[in-house]
Every structure is written in C-alpha cells, then in structure tokens.
Amino acid sequence: MTLRRSISFLAGLAMALGAGWVAFPRVIYRSRPQPVNFSHKIHAEKAGAKCEDCHSFRDDGTFAGIPTLDKCAGCHAAPMGTTAAEKSFIDEYVTPNREPQWSAYAGQPENVSFSHAAHVKRAQMTCESCHGNTGSSDTLRPYQVDRISGYSHDIWKTPNMPHGMKMADCVACHRQKGLEHSCLDCHK
C-alpha cells in the first residue's frame, strides 16, 4: 500500500476515534437547565434542612420525590434572602402558583418499580450512595438527556453519579446482599 493510502486510512481512523470518543458523547445528550437555580447547600446550611425535610415519605410509605410548589411556598411566600434566583422564583412560580417543571436526574423508566422505603428505611442507605453529591451542591447542574432513548445521563456512571443507576448497577448490590429473588421484585 502506498503512503497516501496509509495516510488516508490513518486519517479516517483518527477522525472516527475523535468523533466517537470526543464529539459523540457531547452530541448524544441534549442539555436543559433546571427551571430554578436552586442551591442545596444554602438550604442545608442556612435553613438547617436535611434531605428528608423536603424529600419526604408519605404515610402509606411512598416517596414524595421532588417537592411540589407548596413545600417551597411554605417558606418562600416572601423573599428570605437577597439572591436574584430566589426573586425570579417567587415572581415566576410562587406568585402565579405555577409548578416548576423539574427534571429528575435519577428518573427511571416506566417499567421500574423502585421503593425508596425499602432502601432508605430498611436498608438504611444514605441518599449520597445513589444520588452522589447533589445534596451538597451549590447549583443544580443542567439536566442532560439522551436524545434517542430519553434516559437521563446520570443513569450511566458519571462523575456526579459514581454509582450509576442501570439495572446492572442495582443487581450488583442486590446480588451481594442476597436479595435477588425474581424480576418482578423491581419491575412492574
């Protein structure tokens, strides 16, 4: 083979490797910011809030997930600080009584039945073991969603979510703890 052809080959190879390793991960995700620039850190420090104060369990054991507007409006009916983010939150959401459309980083597909009660109350797991450092972050990172499958980027292992939330990640822990009975344990 001539030199030119080898160079063409290597050029193609390099381009593909670059596209696949560098460009593709950027392009495959669509990014959108969260509706409000909420700071977990401020609420933990200044308001003395723990995770379960806002992300609470209901009486029947179900998990309330991301809090609804009434939880925020309970304190933020009037501005409590001086940030612009809080002011725009009150103007855009509290006053017109509009629910912010949060994007859940840890959203699972429709066919998964995940019980927070079993993991938090029975297994005594900490929030950080699955949700990473979201609870101590100062801002909310943008929500990145896979363009084709519609799954959140955090399902795969990321620096923010070192644990990952794909089925294999859950199964690894369940297997270790001897809690692998049947598929319907986690599927609905």
Partner 1 sequence: MTSANKQIRAARYGMTIDVDRCNGCGACMVACSVENNVPPAHEGATDRKGLTWIRVYKVDNGEEYPNRRTAFVPVMCQHCGNETPCVHVCPQQAVDVDPSTGVVGEMPQRCLGCRYCMAACPYHARYFNWWDPAWPAGMEKTLNPGVTPRMRGVVEKCNLCHGRWHAAKERAAAEGKPDTEPVDYLPACAEACPTGAIHFGDLNDSASAAAKEAAEPESFRLLEKLNTQPKIYYRSKKEWVREIAAAPRPGTGKENTRG
Partner 2 sequence: MNTTRREVLMFAGGSAVGVLFTPAPWRLITDSALWSENWPGIPAPGHGEIRTRYTNCSLCTAGCAVRARCVGDQPVQLSGVSGHPLTHGALCPFGLAGHHLPYLPSRVKQGPAKEAADAVANGIAKCGAGECVATLDLQPARTASWTYRRAMAALKNGRYVAPSGDSSVAVDLSQARTVLSFGVPVLDGWGTPGNVNTARGGFRLIQIEAVESRTATMADQWLRIRPGSEDALAQALAGTAPIATAADATGLATSEIVALIAQLEHDGPTLVLGSSRLASSGRTVIARREAPVPAEWQKAAPVTALASLPDRSVRVLLIDESAQGEYLPWHTIEKKLVSDNPVIVAFAWSREGYARHANFVLPVGVYPEVAGDIPSAIDSVAATFRIAAPLVSPPADMVKPEQFVAAAAGLATGDTLRERADAIHKAARGSLFTYADAKSQALKDVTADAFWKALNAGACWIDAPDDKAPVAQLAAAGTESRPAEQADLPLAVVVSRELTPGSPILSKLYQESNLRLAPNRVALNPACGLEDGAQAVFETLLGKCHVGVTLDAGVPAGVVQVSGSPAVLDLCAAGVRAKVVRV
- Tell me which residues touch partner 1 (CB under 8 A): 57, 60-62, 110-111, 113, 115, 117-118, 121-122, 175, 177-185, 187-188
Nearer to partner 2, 62 or 83 (CB): 62
- Does residue number 12 form part of the binding site for partner 2 (CB under 8 A)? yes
Whether the CB-CB separation of 65 and 104 falls below 8 Å is answered with: yes
CB of 147 to partner 1, least distance (A): 21
Size of the site for partner 2 (CB under 8 A): 32
Site for partner 2 in 91-150 (CB under 8 A): 109-111, 146, 148-150
Residue 21 burial (CB < 10 Å; 0-12/13-18/19+)? exposed
Indicate which of partner 1, partner 2, none lies near residue 121 (CB less than 5 to 8 Å, by partner kind): partner 1
- DSSP state letters, 1-12: --HHHHHHHHHH
Indicate which of partner 1, partner 2, none lies near residue 178 (CB less than 5 to 8 Å, by partner kind): partner 1
Distances (CA, A) of 55 to 40, 45, 120: 12, 16, 12
Q: Residue 173, Cβ neighbours under 10 Å: how many?
A: 16
- Tokens found for residue 136: 């101590």
Q: Residue 138, Cβ neighbours under 10 Å: how many?
A: 10
Contacts with partner 2 by CB under 8 A lie at 1, 4-6, 8-17, 19-21, 24-25, 28, 58, 60, 62, 64, 109-111, 146, 148-151
